A and B are shown apart, each in its own frame.
Chain A
């Protein structure tokens, strides 16, 4: 069964304290792995798409990487405005456009 597991469930950081969020997946034929950011009561905001192992994408303080079994979202020198829930999702080759989401990591960055 296709599955996505994110860890940790919650992460508290001090402003400037870098860290990483993990997304482990098992899927039949990965078509793409997607990272989203979600603020409370809002829809997810697209961040990155990764398609193959070894691929990396960067945007401001965020960097996403992909291996054959997991993806990492590295946050460098985070700011309070980076506080949000970060969601990882995969698209499997035999599931069409369906995204399978993990439960998310709730990030809190304190000044």
Chain B
């Protein structure tokens, strides 16, 4: 069974540009989560989608946004990129939002220059 897949693996953008990151969850999982892992800061929660709706949002500015499609795949958009947005962006999926384990993809390494 395929795990969580993310694309692209690496992404290099210029400050001020927009980045789009994509995630396909494990088959049958309806919840998708996005986390940012910047150097030395640990995993920080960004967004949680379930059944196409945004259920929870972390302490990030509005230029971080996303959506979940009818097939449960998800997209994370980062507008007006800043240098400090450079990080590993991780997507995870679970069967449901509460109390169940989440499985992570391999991440997208975003570098802003």
Contact = CB atoms under 8 A, between A and B. Distances in A.
Nearest to A97: B97
B97 A43 contact: no
Contact of B90 (A34, A43, A89): A43
Interface in A14-59: 31-32, 34, 36, 41-46, 49, 51
B55 interface: yes
Contacts of A36: 104
Nearest to A34: B101
B31 to A, nearest CB: 5
Contact of A100 (B45, B96, B107): B45
| Dominant secondary structure at the B interface | strand
B42 A96 contact: no
B107 A96 contact: no
B48 interface: yes
Interface string A82-111: 000001010100011111111110000000
B43 A97 contact: no
Contacts of A102: 42
Interface residues of B, number: 30
A96 B90 contact: no
Contacts of A104: 42
Contact of A97 (B48, B90, B103, B105): B48
Contacts of A43: 4, 90, 92, 104-107
A97 B102 contact: yes
7 contacts: A32-B99, A44-B104, A49-B100, A91-B98, A96-B56, A97-B94, A99-B92
* Nearest 5 A/B pairs, CB to CB: A97-B97, A43-B104, A101-B43, A31-B99, A96-B56
